[in-house]
C-alpha cells in the first residue's frame, strides 16, 4: 500500500476516502480536516482564546495538540469527576500533556462544586450516574468559560461519537437533541458560550492514529460507568455498516446536518431564563445543576 500523496509506504488506509497515507502525510491530512471544520462552521479565529475540554483521552488531547500546533490560543479545562483511579490517571495525563507543551490548564473539581464526587451523586440522588455527570459537565464547562472570559468551548467529539448520538436520537425521534446536534452551536444567551466540535469530520480510528503518531500519552481505559452504555451499542452497529459500506457513518451524519437538521431547528426554540440561585441559563426557575446540588445536600 502506497501513500496517495508521496508514494512512500503507507501506514494507514482510509477506505471511506479511498486513500492511504504515510505517517507525515496522515498527520497533515488530519490537521487539514480540523482546519476545514473550523473554517466551514466559523468555529473560532486565531485571535480568540479557546477553552478545550480535556478528559485525558485520545480525542480531546489530539484536538488540543492540533490547535496548539496550529497556533491557536488553546487553554485546557480538566473536570475532576472524582471517579476513582480513572480520574486520578486521566488528570495526570492532562497535566503531563500541558507541562510538556507549556500550555495553560484549568482544573475544576466536581466534588467541590456539586458537594459530592460523581460516584456518590447517584447514591445521594437516585439519578443515573451518566445523566448527573453529563449535566455537571455541561454546566461546569460553561461556567468555567464564563468565569475566565472564554467565548468558545471546544470538545473532542469525533465522527463516531456524533453519528452514534444521531442514531440514538433518531431511534427515539428526540426532536430537541436533533435540533441541537451540530458541529458548532452558537450562543443563544449572553451567559451561554459557543460550543464547537472540530473533530467531527474525523473517525475514532483516525484520532487514535493521530494520537499514536504524535506520541500523545493518553488514558486508554474508558470511564468505568461507560460499560453497557447504549451509545457503545450504537457505535458497534454503525461500525458494522461502515465495514460493509465505507462512508456510511459519514453519509449518515453529513446528510443529517445538510438536509435534515434545518427541519428540526424551529422545535428547539425555547425561552431562556437565568437561574434564581446561580444566574446561569435555564428554561425553568432553578437550573438543573442547582437542583442536583440541593438533592446532594439534602441526602448528606
Ligand atoms: S458520562 Fe458516564 Fe461519561 Fe460521566 S460517568 Fe463516565 S461514562 S464520564 S462520557
Ligand atoms: Zn443554578
Confidence of residue 267 (pLDDT cuts 50, 70, 90): low
Mean pLDDT (the chain, rounded): 95
Distance CA 127, CA 130 (A): 8
CB 197 within 8 A of CB 183: yes
pLDDT at 122 exceeding the cut of 90: no
Q: What does pTM read for this prediction?
A: 0.95
Cβ neighbours around 214 below 10 Å, total: 15
Confidence of residue 124 (pLDDT cuts 50, 70, 90): confident
pLDDT at 52 exceeding the cut of 90: yes
Distances (CA, A) of 135 to 2, 41, 150: 46, 25, 20
Ligand 1 atom, smallest distance to 130 CA: 2
**pLDDT value of residue 268:** 55
Minimal-distance CA residue to ligand 1 atom 8: 223
Quick one: which H or E segment has residue 76? Answer: strand 73-80
**pLDDT value of residue 229:** 86
Ligand 1 atom, smallest distance to 226 CA: 7
Confidence of residue 296 (pLDDT cuts 50, 70, 90): very high
User: 159 φ, ψ to 5°?
Assistant: -55, -40
Domains of the chain: 32-267 (3.40.50.620)
pLDDT, greater one: 122 or 20 = 20
The number of the ligand nearest the C-alpha atom of 83 reads 1
Amino acid at each position: 500500500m502506497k501513500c496517495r500523496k508521496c508514494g512512500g509506504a503507507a501506514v494507514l488506509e482510509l477506505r471511506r476516502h479511498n486513500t492511504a497515507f504515510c505517517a507525515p502525510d496522515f498527520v497533515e491530512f488530519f490537521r487539514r480536516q480540523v482546519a476545514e471544520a473550523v473554517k466551514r462552521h466559523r468555529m473560532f479565529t486565531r485571535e480568540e482564546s479557546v477553552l478545550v475540554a480535556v478528559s485525558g483521552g485520545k480525542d480531546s488531547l489530539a484536538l488540543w495538540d492540533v490547535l496548539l500546533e496550529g497556533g491557536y490560543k488553546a487553554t485546557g479545562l480538566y473536570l475532576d469527576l472524582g471517579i476513582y483511579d480513572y480520574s486520578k490517571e486521566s488528570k495526570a495525563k492532562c497535566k503531563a500533556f500541558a507541562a510538556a507543551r507549556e500550555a495553560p490548564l484549568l482544573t475544576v473539581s466536581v466534588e467541590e462544586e456539586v458537594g459530592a464526587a460523581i460516584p456518590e451523586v447517584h447514591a445521594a440522588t437516585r439519578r443515573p450516574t451518566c445523566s448527573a455527570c453529563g449535566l455537571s459537565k455541561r454546566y461546569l464547562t460553561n461556567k468555567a468559560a464564563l468565569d475566565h472570559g472564554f467565548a468558545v468551548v471546544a470538545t473532542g467529539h469525533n465522527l463516531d461519537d456524533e453519528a452514534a448520538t444521531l442514531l440514538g436520537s433518531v431511534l427515539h425521534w428526540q426532536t430537541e437533541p436533533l435540533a441541537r446536534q451540530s458541529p458548532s452551536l452558537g450562543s443563544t444567551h449572553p451567559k451561554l458560550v459557543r460550543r464547537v466540535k472540530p473533530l467531527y469530520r474525523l473517525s475514532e480510528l483516525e484520532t487514535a492514529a493521530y494520537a499514536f503518531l504524535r506520541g500523545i500519552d493518553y488514558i486508554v481505559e474508558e470511564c468505568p460507568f461507560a460499560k453497557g452504555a447504549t451509545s457503545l451499542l450504537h457505535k458497534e452497529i454503525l461500525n458494522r455498516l461502515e465495514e460493509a459500506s465505507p462512508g456510511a457513518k459519514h453519509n449518515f451524519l453529513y446528510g443529517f446536518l445538510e438536509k435534515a437538521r434545518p427541519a428540526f431547528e424551529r422545535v428547539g426554540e425555547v425561552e431562556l431564563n437565568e437561574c434564581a440561585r446561580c444566574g446561569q441559563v435555564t428554561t425553568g426557575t432553578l437550573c438543573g445543576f442547582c437542583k442536583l446540588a440541593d438533592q446532594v445536600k439534602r441526602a448528606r
